[in-house]
Amino acid sequence: MTDRAPFLIVETGQPVGSLKRYGRFPHWIRVAAGLAARDVTEVNAERGEPLPEPHGLAGVIVTGSAAFVTDRAPWSEHTAGWIREVVQEGTPLLGICYGHQLLAHALGGEVDYNPAGRESGTVFIDLHPPAFEDPLFAGMPPRFAAHATHLQTVIRPPEGAAVLARSEQDACHAFRWGQGAWGVQFHPEFATHHMRGYVHARAECLRNHGRCPRTVAREVSAAPQARRLLRRFVKHARGQHGAGTHARGADRG
């Protein structure tokens, strides 16, 4: 047992069929984040499972998905409303890929198809100056490798958001809203076998966008800096929750 507040992983989709043998997205995220199973609760938002009150949670992580935010599916719109309430209440939240886009949409930003086409494979992320003082990105190299696979993107970030990073194809690969909500377009939970699996699964789409799947797969490499971001989020959220608990205890004294 643990007396530490749990992290909630909101599941918004499933891996491609060839990668399901490695488990579902919450498992990939939990392992990369260094969290024990007892430290995590999961809700499958795509299947309509009820989303809990954020009180008592250390933080929230929203997964990727093959769905499109622009489809405005009822479950997705409901989740967006819940995300808006969570971040406005100050619970730390990290959105990954679809979760990144859904966070932007929830806060009034714009999501649509990336004019540059599909981004897939190991890409290079370039940090903007605001990232150098950001709680998650401070101390990271100004350029690092990350894994990405997406057609849609954040065309316009929410008002007041700090854009933290870009890639050659995507001007908003990471943003922070307020003091505790982050979206990242790349997949910090992906290992190289996950990324290669997605390149193979999306081979036809890559060809349609003028890319050679074999070349993209061959250029997949490890992305340790991007992967560390999940542990940075966990550490930050734990610290924030501990500070909040201490403050509430002082108020009661």
Active site members: 97, 187, 189
Angle 29-54-249 from CA coordinates, rounded to 5°:
115
Integer Cα distance of 91 and 53 in angstroms: 10
From 147, 150, 153, 127, select the one nearest 139 (Cα to Cα): 127
- The alpha carbons of the chain give a radius of gyration, in whole angstroms, of 17
Which residue is it, tokens 């935010």? 69
**Separation of alpha carbons 131 and 141, rounded Å:** 10
Distance from C-alpha of 134 to C-alpha of 89, rounded to nearest angstrom: 20
State phi, psi for 130 to the nearest 5 degrees.
-60, -25
**Amino acid symbol at 152:** Q
Distances (CA, A) of 59 to 136, 181, 235: 14, 10, 10
CA distance 92 to 21: 30
